[in-house]
Structure formats: C-alpha cells, structure tokens
Amino acid sequence: MKLELIGITKRFGSLVANDHIDLVVEPGQVHSLLGENGAGKSTLMNVLYGLYDPTEGEILVNDKPVTFKGPGDAMAAGIGMVHQHFMLVPVFTVAENVALGNEATKAGGMLDLQETRTRIRRISDQYGFDVDPDAVVEDLPVGVQQRVEIIKALVRDAEVLILDEPTAVLTPKETDELLGIMAQLKADGKSIVFISHKLREVKAVSDVITVVRRGKVVGTADPSAPTTELASLMVGRSVSLTLDKKPATPGEVTFRVQDLTVQAPNGQHVVDGLSFEVAEGEILAIAGVQGNGQTELTEAIMGLQDHVTGSITLNGNQLLGRSVKEVIRAGVGFVPEDRSVEGLVGTFSVAENLILNRYDDAPFARGLSMSQSAMEQNAQAKIAEYDVRTQSAQSAAGTLSGGNQQKVVMAREFSRPLKLFIASQPTRGVDVGSIEFLHRRIVAERDGGTPVIIVSTELDEVLELADRIAVLYRGRLMGIVPGTVSRDVLGLMMAGMPADEALAQAHDVQGGDL
Amino acid sequence: MSTATTSAPARSASDATVRSWKNPIILSVVALFALFVFAVGAPGNDVTFRLSEENDPIVLPSIVVSAPVIGWVAALAMIVLAVLAILRTRSGRKIPVWVLAVFAVLFLIAFLTWVVGSARTPNVALYGLLAGSVTLAVPLIFGSLSGVLCERSGVVNIAIEGQLLFGAFAAAVAASLSGSAFVGLLAAAVAGVLVSLVLAVFSIWYVVNQVIVGVVLNVLVSGLTGFLFSAVLSEDSERWNSPPRLPVIDIPLLADIPVIGPILFQQTIVGYLMYIAVAVVYVALYHSRWGLRTRAVGEHPKAADTLGVNVNRMRFMNVLLAGVVAGIGGSFFTLVAVSGFGRDMTAGQGYIALAALIFGRWNPIGAFFAALLFGFATNLSNVLSLLGTPVPDQFLRMLPYVVTVFAVAGLVGRSRAPGASGIPYIKG
C-alpha cells in the first residue's frame, strides 16, 4: 500500500505544529521520521491516524484521496499505529485488548474471545512473539505489551504500521528484537513509519529518512549519511555530540548506601539490597530500563518512600528516617524525573519556582511575609545565568518549553551549596541545544567537588556523563562498571546479567556496535 | 552539635516488612466485645428461630437454641480466630480469607442470638427476616446497578438518590392518574432517564464536575418533588397520589418452598425485574461487545478511542440506561413499599446504593450482595424494635449506616475503581 501525505498543516491556535509536510511511504519500506522532541512528528502521525483533523492538506492511499474522521477510518484504510504511550487497557487481558473495537461476536452481541485468541496465536507464532492471549496486560513487561500493540494492528490487517518512539521504553536487547520484527514485517510487504530521535536506530533500519524540525520537513537523508550530518539536520546547527569533560578526580567518599531495600505496599522488594558509594567529584550514573527501581531509589534517598530499610549516609549522617526537609537541609539537591509534576508548580511563576527550596530562608522570607524584591532579583540573576527563555520572571512555569522548565529546576537546585546532587532523567524531553547546556552544568558541579548521581534510561546520556555506571535490574544492582564500558556490556546488564558475566560475554563476542 | 558522628542506627530489615496489623487488632477487639457482651452478658433463656408458619404447605421445625451456650461457643471460637490472625501476621504471612468469613458468620450468629434472646419475646421468624431484607434491598440493588452502568463507563453517578426519588414520584403520579401500576412503572423509568439526561449533558458535553452535577441534581429533584407534593399532590391526593400497588406474584409450587420461597418466588414484578437486571448486567458487562466497550471507556478511554470506539456516545448511552434502571428502582417506594408518594421518601437510600456499589467493587453481583447486607441491617433494626430489645431504638436505626461506614472504610481494602471514573474525555 502506498501512502502519501501532501501539504499537511496542523495548527493549534497560533501554534503551527505541522507546516506543509509532504511525505511518501512506499510499500515494503521502512520510512523513518527523525526529529527532536516537539518537532511535530507525533502530531503528524496523529493526523495520519485520524486522531486530529488536519488544518490543511491531503492524505492519499494508493493515489486516492481519503479523509479520516477517526481512528476507525484510518484502520479500515489499513493504517495501524503503535503509540508511544501504549493504548492498552491495563486490567484487560491481551485477548480483550485485541478484540476491543473489532470484536468477534456470537449471537446477541456476545463476545467470541476464542476466535480472537486463535488470531492472536496465529500472529504470535508467525512472528515469534510468544504472547499469551489470556495474560492480563498490566502484568506483562513493556516489551511484550508493545508486541500486543503490534498484534492489535496486524489483526486489523494493517498495511502501514506507524511506530511512535517504540524504543524509548525498551532494553537494548528488546530494541534489537523489535528491529528484527520490523525487518520481518517489511519482508512481508508491510510499510513501516518509524518515528525516533535516536540516530543509531534510525540508521540501522531505515530505507528512507525524513528529517523534521519545528513542524517542517527540512530534508531527506540516506541511511548511510554520517551521524553528525543527521544530527545537524535535526537540530538546525552543528552540534557537538560529545561532551568535553576532564577525567574525574574523585576525592573522599562522602555518600554511602548500604543494603538499601524498599518495599512496595504489596510487599515486593522494588529496591533490593543495594549498596554503593559516591565520592566527591565523581558522577555515578544509574542505568537501567525504566521501572527497575530507579524512581524508588531516588525517592528513598530523599525521604519520599515508606518501608525503607538499610542505611543511607551523607558525610556520616544517617539520612534514612529523616523528613524530606531535613534531607534538603543536609545539602541534597534533587531533580525529579517528571519535572512538570514533581519538579515545578506549573501555575506558580518562574520566580516562585526558583525559590521553592529556600522560601522560608532569608532573604526571601521576612518573618511571616515574603520579600518580592529579593525573589525578583534572584529570578533575574538565574534567568540570565541559565539562559531561561521566558517572557518574564512572573510567567507561569507551566507555560515554558520542556528545556526551559528543566533549566528552572536545575537553577533552583544549584542555587545553594550542595553536598550531593541527584538528577533523574535530567534531559528527558529536552531539546538538543539545552541538553548540551544542562550536561555542562552537571559536569561543572562535579568539578566543583560535589558527588553526583544521574539516573537515566538513555544509554547515550549515561555514557556521556558517567565516571562510573551502576545498572539496576528488578531493584537489584547488576554491578558497577567504569564509564568507558561498551554499550553491549550495559545492554546485557540492563537485561539482568551480572557485570562480570556481561563483561566476559561481550569480550567473547566483540559484536557490531548497535 | 557534632555532625560527623550523629549516625543514627540503621533500621533492621525485619521491622519494615510491609504488614498490616489492622485486621488482627479489629478481630481481637470484636472478639473481646463478643466475650463480654454475647457470652458473659448472655440472657439465660432459650431463643427460637422460626423457619415457617403453622399453616404453610411445608412446615419446618423451629430452631431453638440456648443463648448462653451459643454466646460462649461463638465468643471463644472468635477469640481462637483472632489469635490465629495475630500469629499469622506476626510471622509475616497473610490471614486466610476463610478466617475473616467464619469470624463474620460467628459474630452474626452470636449477635442475633443475643439480641433476640434479650427481647421481650425471644422468638423471631428467620425466613421473614431474610425475605424482608431482600425486599428492602430492592431499591438499593437497582440504585447500585445504575451506579455500575455509569461508573464502569467512566461517569460518577452521585445522582442515584435523585433518580430513585424522581422515579418514585413519577410512578405515584402516573399510576394514580391512569389507575394502572404498570403505567407507573413505565413513568418511573422515563423519570430516571430524565435525571440521567441532565447528568449526561452536563458531565459529558459540558464537562462539568460530575460529583457537583450529581449533588445538584439530588437537591433539584428533592426540591421539585417536594414543591409539587405540597402544591399539587396534597391538594387532591385522591386524584394525584393514590396509586394502585403492584400485585405480588406467587410462582406456583416454588413459592411454597420454606425459607427460599418467600425470598425468591413471592415478589412483585419489580422484585423479579431486579433479579433479571442483576443477571443481565453481569453477563452483558463481562461477556458482550457492549460490556467490553463499556469497561474500556471507563478504564482507558483514549485506548478505546484509538480503536474506533466513540467514547462519549458510549458513556451517554450508559448513563441513560442507568436512568432506566434507577427509575424502576424508585417505583418500588410508591408502588410496592407503600401506596403513595411522601416528601424525600427515599431518605438517603441512593447514597447507601452508592456505598453498596463501592463495597461490591463495581461488580453487579458484588453490589447485589452488598445491597443485601444493607437491606438485612435495615430489616433487622425494624424487626428488633418490634420485638422490644434492650438496645435503644435510635441505635438500632443507626445500624444500616454503621454497617455502611464500616463496610466502605474498613472491610473493602483496596477496592479498585474503574481507571477513568469521574474523568471527562476530551478528544485530542
């Protein structure tokens, strides 16, 4: 099936998310859409899938114009989509999820799930998915959930599959498996639209690459084009993809975690017997696929988790069992993983957000009242120092772009002398330009002698920043390896292999770098 | 203060095992209460539970028990179970469900024996107690089914009270004017739909907070029916407010079975409709296309939307259907319970139905049994005040509400509401 988008424009009020985008997807082709977060890739795909009406433009299927009033029309035309945030009902079984909207029924509208199970098994066998139709979706690992999404599209006879940032939630091993599945689908004559901002994956699977920036197609590229060329096309200027950073000069070990265990309300050990140390002037990166205990670990350090055992000491002081405020007072700076919910108060002004951790200290507090002028001065200084793009210090923080919001959070956390700095996903959803800046600030903090912990699910970021890397898998430490270790080793560890085995195996294989 | 050496002792792993002492503590307190009240404080006489009347086709012998014996046996057994629960919790294991179930049954038996034994006439018709419970539970069950239909599709229905009350009012007026109770039944369903329509339009189209719309609707219906009652119905109650009652239909033979017969097979059409509605809603919700889509839009509307299900239309239809169900439930008040409408006669039953819905975990069968429990509590308080017990009447009348509070707050545990219940769906 040939799919063509001609002059697609989508406006939200005054914001132009897509600006006259043209795109042709040939049958049996993997067509990659490369662009930064917020470049308009997902909007374009939502238009194609019938979730948004295009403001202007036309969609052609096999050279015939079509209009999609909703996803139902798009599916009927042979378009299937695997959303970045899975569209699965968590409490339903796989079969119920696949059946939904396309139910096989017996007399009187009664469900015939047996029919659906048979179809799932057939597709599952054909592509080697290994999916149990009766498993409840919320109990499945994300990689399997993604396969359920693909099955949903295939059951509806999709000829064009849109995969929206499919690798963001996967381990490197699962990513490899997904790329394998994509090759199989392509061999079966399906077309795939692959949306990503990860250059390596895009180069590995694409037949054609279209680069999108600020809602516009800025060019097409050949998969064999060098990475730096793709990156500069994507960002719009030449970017240095490598960070200049001096080797670490670790000092005294001041932060120690001993035997840390965090229990979830259901009794499961979400963090299981962790022990590690961080020295002054080094960056320890905590790598792992999302949901392997990283969130609970950082929250346990901050005093945000119940049912924590073990010991967490900073400069010899026990932090465990202290209130969040006491932990902050002890000199811990924290950038939470979801800045818009936990890092900022979206309806507060930038100036207010910049002093959330010091609002009751001089000079901002005067008795029971607050000093507006001190807040304003502080805000102006920070906005200038961090190059925060905001209309004014009084704008609501929620109106800023992701990168600028993150700058506000960082500026606040770095605004006082720190004994320990923790950042979770410091550059998630942040544009490449801001990433460089934020990374340099983190390294500067390290060079100032602060122990730094970075939690990230992005291997690129981990390898870029880390002096040492700790890998978490199901709440347990798979080992701590030097920051210079190869991706293969990290990939194996993220899939649950202890460090020594992973190092040995990677040494044996010396496989290609993907 | 030295900062280098204030290292507090680390906590040991065994302290932090996630275990809840709530259940063992509650069981122990209740068991001790039972020991002192039901065993030590037991009346010395025998207690008679009648299973049938003398002129019934099939006569079963009455159960006669000694109050102190039952009191002591039950109290001691409850203490054993409480100790078992404490031991299990201390060793970090779960308390088996049967312990809680047996405990509850023992408590109920001991309580009934004690309270009936202490009455002036220690003799009660057990079948009547149960049949009366079902009868009183009928509007609750209709109400909570209405809640199931709404909440499973993602709309919170606080307006059950209003739907019941308006159904009751419409049934009374329509049946009085037409002289036919069945016309009243139909009018009740229409009235329920009208209330639903307002709920649906405001909460789905205009995205008004669903709880607020529901509460406002209840107040509106209460005010409207109250005004019409005093302005119209009371003026000429012969014409406006003397509906014929729905006849009780005995199913031949089956109605003669002792105990079960009066419960299942001597009902009005509303009672039979109730059983049918529970079964139909249950089967449809879990085994039909409509049910799958309903649950999907209530759990994850966006997922349903991306599969071509029209979320808001689905919700709209469900809310209207809920109105039919609750409206019919409302007709119980004026066509079955008493003949005629009275101001605010639903008296908070809609809110109890809401509690039954939550206690029943948003499942039609669960809601059915939860509503039966509340019906039982209500009926027990009625029967006991007739028998003349030592417990003051005011306390007895609190019983259904106390049961509600405990059921919803304590025993439910982590009951999981539909994921998107109360959250309007806005496309895009």
Alpha-carbon dihedral angle through residues B94, B97, B101, B103, given to the nearest 10 degrees? -20
* Rounded distance between C-alpha atoms, residue A235 and residue A433, angstroms: 8
* Rounded distance between C-alpha atoms, residue B223 and residue A158, angstroms: 56
The contact set of B with A (CB < 8 A) is 3-13, 15-18, 287-293, 295-296, 299-300, 302-310, 416, 419, 427-428
**Closest Cα in chain B to A46:** B428
Best-predicted range by mean pLDDT among A54-63, A350-359, B298-307, B316-325?
Answer: B316-325
Tens digit of pLDDT for each residue in A77-131? 999 999 888 899 999 999 999 999 888 888 888 999 999 999 999 999 998 888 9
Tens digit of pLDDT for each residue in B208-240? 999 999 999 999 999 999 999 999 999 888 899
* Rounded distance between C-alpha atoms, residue B239 and residue B335, angstroms: 16
Least confident of A162-176, A498-512, B165-179: A498-512
Helix (H, G, I), strand (E, B) or coil at A247: coil
State the nearest Cα–Cα gap between A263 and chain B, in angstroms.
Answer: 7
Looking at beta carbons, which residues of chain B come within 8 Å of A274? none
**What percentage of chain B exceeds 70 in pLDDT?**
93
Look at chain B and count its residues: 428
Residues 6+ apart with CB under 8 A from B358: B408, B412, B415, B417
What pLDDT is stored for residue A398 in this prediction? 84
**Closest Cα in chain A to B309:** A101
**Closest Cα in chain B to A258:** B10
Paired tokens of A39: 């470049």
SS3 content of chain A, % helix, strand, coil (to 5): 35, 25, 40
* Rounded distance between C-alpha atoms, residue B342 and residue A471, angstroms: 70
Whose CA is closest to A258, among A271, A279, A277? A277
What pLDDT is stored for residue B406 in this prediction? 73
What pLDDT is stored for residue B410 in this prediction? 60
Per the CB < 8 Å rule, is B307 touching A315? no
What pLDDT is stored for residue A12 in this prediction? 82
**Closest Cα in chain A to B417:** A91
Q: CB of B87 within 8 A of CB of B78?
A: no
Q: CB of B327 within 8 A of CB of B191?
A: yes
Residues 6+ apart with CB under 8 A from A413: A333, A334, A335, A357, A421
ipTM over 0.85: no
Per the CB < 8 Å rule, is A316 touching B287? no
**What percentage of chain A exceeds 90 in pLDDT?**
50
Tens digit of pLDDT for each residue in A458-491? 888 899 899 999 999 999 999 999 999 988 899 8
* Rounded distance between C-alpha atoms, residue A127 and residue B11, angstroms: 50
From A258, A309, A318, residue closest to B8, measured CB to CB: A318
Residues 6+ apart with CB under 8 A from A440: A243
For the cut 70, the answer to whether the pLDDT of residue A513 exceeds it is no
**What percentage of chain B exceeds 90 in pLDDT?**
50
Whose CA is closest to B216, among B139, B140, B154, B162? B162
Per the CB < 8 Å rule, is B289 touching A110? yes
Test the A interface: residue of B3, B306, B313, B414 with most A CBs within 10 Å:
B306
* Rounded distance between C-alpha atoms, residue B334 and residue B138, angstroms: 13
What pLDDT is stored for residue A510 in this prediction? 53
Q: CB of B169 within 8 A of CB of B191?
A: yes
What pLDDT is stored for residue A300 in this prediction? 94
- What is the distance, to the nearest Å, from the Cα of residue B59 to the centroid of all Cα atoms in its chain? 31
- pTM attached to this predicted model: 0.80
* Rounded distance between C-alpha atoms, residue A212 and residue A195, angstroms: 10
Element (H or E) spanning A57, and its range?
A: strand A56-61
* Rounded distance between C-alpha atoms, residue A163 and residue A345, angstroms: 33
For the cut 70, the answer to whether the pLDDT of residue A494 exceeds it is yes
From A75, A96, A311, residue closest to B308, measured CB to CB: A75
Paired tokens of B176: 């009085």
Per the CB < 8 Å rule, is A100 touching B419? no
Q: CB of A407 within 8 A of CB of A388?
A: yes
Q: CB of B329 within 8 A of CB of B264?
A: no
Q: CB of A472 within 8 A of CB of A276?
A: no
Tens digit of pLDDT for each residue in B68-109? 899 999 999 999 999 998 998 888 787 787 888 898 889 988
Whose CA is closest to A35, among A242, A240, A230, A237? A230
* Rounded distance between C-alpha atoms, residue B367 and residue B372, angstroms: 8
For the cut 90, the answer to whether the pLDDT of residue B326 exceeds it is yes
Q: CB of A157 within 8 A of CB of A476?
A: no
Tens digit of pLDDT for each residue in B114-128? 888 888 888 888 888
For the cut 90, the answer to whether the pLDDT of residue A451 exceeds it is yes
Q: CB of A431 within 8 A of CB of A464?
A: no
Per the CB < 8 Å rule, is B287 touching A311? no
Paired tokens of A35: 């662009």
B123-125: strand order across its sheet: B63-66, B46-50, B123-125
What pLDDT is stored for residue B14 in this prediction? 42
Residues 6+ apart with CB under 8 A from A11: A17, A55
**Closest Cα in chain A to B20:** A265
Paired tokens of A406: 């993150």
End-to-end CA distance of chain A: 30
**Beta-carbon contacts below 8 Å between A and B:** 125
Instruction: Please name the residue ranges forming H helices in A156-304.
Output: 172-187, 199-205, 227-235, 294-302
Per the CB < 8 Å rule, is A316 touching B4? yes
For the cut 90, the answer to whether the pLDDT of residue A404 exceeds it is no
For the cut 90, the answer to whether the pLDDT of residue B378 exceeds it is no
Whose CA is closest to A453, among A340, A320, A301? A301
CA angle A391, A392, A394 (to 5 degrees): 130
Test the A interface: residue of B307, B416, B421 with most A CBs within 10 Å:
B307
* Rounded distance between C-alpha atoms, residue A492 and residue A504, angstroms: 11
What pLDDT is stored for residue B412 in this prediction? 56
* Rounded distance between C-alpha atoms, residue B257 and residue B266, angstroms: 11
Q: CB of B264 within 8 A of CB of B254?
A: yes
> What does the pLDDT average to over B289-298?
95
Tens digit of pLDDT for each residue in A355-401? 998 888 888 888 888 889 999 999 999 999 998 888 889 989 988 87
From B8, B304, B419, residue closest to A101, measured CB to CB: B304
The β-bridge relationship of strands A452-455 and A420-424 is parallel
Q: CB of A210 within 8 A of CB of A217?
A: yes
Given pLDDT bands bounded at 50, 70 and 90, which one contains residue A334?
A: very high
Per the CB < 8 Å rule, is B299 touching A316? no
For the cut 70, the answer to whether the pLDDT of residue B188 exceeds it is yes
**Closest Cα in chain B to A50:** B306
> What does the pLDDT average to over A24-38?
87
Looking at beta carbons, which residues of chain B come within 8 Å of A107? none
CA angle A494, A496, A499 (to 5 degrees): 80
What pLDDT is stored for residue A210 in this prediction? 93
Paired tokens of B234: 């009371």
A3-12: strand order across its sheet: A15-25, A3-12, A56-61, A64-66
> What does the pLDDT average to over B332-353?
92
Instruction: Describe the crossing of helices A172-187 and A142-155 by its angle, rounded to 10 degrees.
Output: 10
Per the CB < 8 Å rule, is A111 touching B300? no
For the cut 50, the answer to whether the pLDDT of residue B6 exceeds it is no
Q: What is the b/e burial string over A284-303, where b = at least 16 CB atoms within 10 angstroms of the residue's CB?
A: bbbbbbbbbbbbbbbbbbbb
Helix (H, G, I), strand (E, B) or coil at A360: coil
Per the CB < 8 Å rule, is B306 touching A96? no
Per the CB < 8 Å rule, is B10 touching A309? yes
Task: State the residue for tokens 């293969």.
Answer: A488
What pLDDT is stored for residue B18 in this prediction? 57
Element (H or E) spanning A380, and its range?
A: helix A372-386
Paired tokens of A189: 């004559």
What pLDDT is stored for residue B413 in this prediction? 57
Element (H or E) spanning A479, and its range?
A: strand A476-482
What pLDDT is stored for residue B19 in this prediction? 66
Per the CB < 8 Å rule, is A105 touching B300? no
Range list of β-strands (E), A307-378: 308-314, 317-318, 332-335, 365-366, 369-370
Tens digit of pLDDT for each residue in A136-173? 998 888 889 999 999 999 999 999 999 988 887 777 77
Best-predicted range by mean pLDDT among A133-142, A350-359, B140-149?
Answer: B140-149
Whose CA is closest to A173, among A197, A143, A132? A143
**Closest Cα in chain A to B19:** A267
Test the B interface: residue of A89, A255, A314 with most B CBs within 10 Å:
A89
Test the B interface: residue of A100, A260, A275, A313 with most B CBs within 10 Å:
A100
Test the A interface: residue of B289, B362, B415 with most A CBs within 10 Å:
B289
Per the CB < 8 Å rule, is A267 touching B17? yes
Paired tokens of A179: 């790329």
**What percentage of chain A exceeds 70 in pLDDT?**
97
Per the CB < 8 Å rule, is B13 touching A75? no
